[in-house]
Amino acid sequence: MQVRKRIHVSGIVQGVGFRPYVYRLADAHHLSGHIANNAAGVVIEVQGLDAAVAEFLRALQSGAPPLALITDLQVAEIACNGDAAFTILPSEKSETVRTLILPDIATCDDCLRELFDPSDRRYLYPFINCTNCGPRFTIIRGLPYDRPQTSMSIFPMCPQCQAEYDNPRNRRFHAQPNACPDCGPRVELLDAAGHALASADDVADAAELLRAGSIVAVKGLGGFHLAADATNAVAVERLRDRKHRVEKPFAVMVPDITAAESFCELNAEDRALLSSPRRPIVLLPRKPNGAIADSVAPFQSTLGIFLPYTPLHHILLQKSKLPALVMTSGNLSEEPIAIANSEAVSRLSGIADAFLGNNREILLRCDDSVVRRIAGRTRHLRRSRGYVPVPVFLHREFPAVLAVGGELKNTICVLNGRQAFLSQHIGDLENAEAFGLFREAIAHMQNILEVHPSILAHDLHPDYFSTRWALAQTGMRAIAVQHHHAHIASCMAENHLDGHVIGIALDGTGYGTDGCVWGGEVLLAGYESFTRAAHLANVPMPGGAAAIRQPWRMAVSYLASHFGEKFGDLPIEFNHWLDRTKTNTLLKMMKENINSPLTSSCGRLFDAVAALIGVRRYINYEGQAAIELETAMGNCNDALCYPVGLRPSSSINGACTQIDTRPMFENLLRDLQSQVSVPVLSRRFHNGVVEAFARAAELARHQSALNRVCLSGGSFQNAFLLEHLAQRLASSGFEVFSQSEVPTGDGGLSLGQAMVAGG
Q: How far apart are CA 742 and CA 492, in angstroms?
A: 11
Which residue lies nearer to Zn ion by CB, 77 or 182? Answer: 182
Based on the shown chain and the rule CB under 5 A, indicate whether residue 112 belongs to the binding site for Zn ion: no
Nearest approach, Cβ of 126 to Zn ion (angstroms)? Answer: 13
Q: For the beta carbon of residue 606, count every other beta carbon within 10 angstroms.
A: 31
Which residue lies nearer to Zn ion by CB, 180 or 578? Answer: 180
For 712, residues 6+ apart whose C-beta sits below 8 A from its C-beta are 487, 488, 490, 491, 503, 504, 505, 738, 739, 744, 748, 752
Which residue lies nearer to Fe ion by CB, 205 or 746? Answer: 746
By CB under 5 A, which span of 29-37, 104-112, 605-613, 617-625 interacts with Zn ion?
104-112
Cβ atoms 716, 744 nearer than 8 A: yes
CB-based burial of residue 684 (10 Å sphere; 0-12 exposed, 13-18 middle, 19+ buried)? Answer: buried
Nearest approach, Cβ of 507 to Fe ion (angstroms)? Answer: 4
For 372, residues 6+ apart whose C-beta sits below 8 A from its C-beta are 282, 283, 302, 378, 379, 381, 717, 719
Which residue lies nearer to Zn ion by CB, 121 or 591? Answer: 121
Closest CA to 354 of 230, 221, 185, 226: 226
> Rg of the Cα trace of the chain?
28
Based on the shown chain and the rule CB under 5 A, indicate whether residue 297 belongs to the binding site for Zn ion: no
Q: What are phi and psi of 145, to 5 degrees?
A: -70, 90
Out of 31, 39, 105, 108, point to the residue binding Zn ion (CB under 5 A): 108
Cβ atoms 20, 42 nearer than 8 A: no
> What sign does the dihedral 185-187-192-196 (CA atoms) show?
negative
Based on the shown chain and the rule CB under 5 A, indicate whether residue 111 belongs to the binding site for Zn ion: yes
Nearest approach, Cβ of 12 to Zn ion (angstroms)? Answer: 17
Q: How far apart are CA 20 and CA 22, in angstroms?
A: 5
For 223, residues 6+ apart whose C-beta sits below 8 A from its C-beta are 329, 330, 336, 337, 338, 339, 362, 365, 366, 367
Which residue lies nearer to Fe ion by CB, 155 or 716? Answer: 716
* Bridge partners (DSSP) listed for residue 598: 540
Nearest approach, Cβ of 601 to Fe ion (angstroms)? Answer: 10
Cβ atoms 201, 210 nearer than 8 A: no
Omega before 66 within 30 of 0, i.e. cis:
no
Out of 77, 92, 166, 182, point to the residue binding Zn ion (CB under 5 A): 182
**Residue 40 binds what, of Fe ion, Zn ion, none (CB under 5 to 8 Å, by partner type)?**
none
Contact string 136-175 vs Zn ion (x = CB under 5 A): ----------------------x--x--------------
Site of interaction with Fe ion (CB under 5 A): 507, 746
By CB under 5 A, which span of 110-118, 468-476, 498-506, 717-725 interacts with Zn ion?
110-118
**How far is CA 323 from each of CA 32, 275, 319, rounded to the nearest angstrom?**
53, 17, 11
Nearest approach, Cβ of 158 to Zn ion (angstroms)? Answer: 3
Based on the shown chain and the rule CB under 5 A, indicate whether residue 105 belongs to the binding site for Zn ion: no
Nearest approach, Cβ of 742 to Fe ion (angstroms)? Answer: 13
Cβ atoms 746, 410 nearer than 8 A: yes
Cβ atoms 382, 367 nearer than 8 A: yes
Which residue lies nearer to Fe ion by CB, 29 or 461? Answer: 461
By CB under 5 A, which span of 61-69, 130-138, 262-270, 502-510 interacts with Zn ion?
130-138
Nearest approach, Cβ of 92 to Fe ion (angstroms)? Answer: 43
Which residue lies nearer to Fe ion by CB, 327 or 517? Answer: 517
Which residue lies nearer to Zn ion by CB, 106 or 756? Answer: 106
Nearest approach, Cβ of 121 to Zn ion (angstroms)? Answer: 8
Chain centroid, CA 581 distance in Å: 42
Which residue lies nearer to Zn ion by CB, 18 or 552? Answer: 18
Nearest approach, Cβ of 564 to Fe ion (angstroms)? Answer: 32
Based on the shown chain and the rule CB under 5 A, indicate whether residue 664 belongs to the binding site for Zn ion: no
Alpha helices, DSSP H, located in 339-461: 341-348, 432-449
Nearest approach, Cβ of 171 to Zn ion (angstroms)? Answer: 7
Give the CB-nearest residue to Fe ion.
507
**Residue 632 binds what, of Zn ion, Fe ion, none (CB under 5 to 8 Å, by partner type)?**
none
**Residue 456 binds what, of Zn ion, Fe ion, none (CB under 5 to 8 Å, by partner type)?**
none
Cβ atoms 7, 73 nearer than 8 A: yes
Cβ atoms 427, 434 nearer than 8 A: yes
# residues near Zn ion by CB under 5 A: 10
Cβ atoms 343, 332 nearer than 8 A: no
Which residue lies nearer to Fe ion by CB, 602 or 681? Answer: 602
Based on the shown chain and the rule CB under 5 A, indicate whether residue 132 belongs to the binding site for Zn ion: yes
**Residue 368 binds what, of Zn ion, Fe ion, none (CB under 5 to 8 Å, by partner type)?**
none
Nearest approach, Cβ of 105 to Zn ion (angstroms)? Answer: 8
**Residue 746 binds what, of Zn ion, Fe ion, none (CB under 5 to 8 Å, by partner type)?**
Fe ion
Which residue lies nearer to Fe ion by CB, 433 or 746? Answer: 746
3-state helix, strand, coil split of the chain in percent (to 5) is: 35, 25, 40
Which residue lies nearer to Fe ion by CB, 368 or 507? Answer: 507
**Residue 507 binds what, of Zn ion, Fe ion, none (CB under 5 to 8 Å, by partner type)?**
Fe ion
Based on the shown chain and the rule CB under 5 A, indicate whether residue 130 belongs to the binding site for Zn ion: yes
Q: What are phi and psi of 211, to 5 degrees?
A: -60, -30
Chain residues that interact with Zn ion, rule: CB under 5 A: 108, 111, 130, 132-133, 158, 161, 180, 182-183
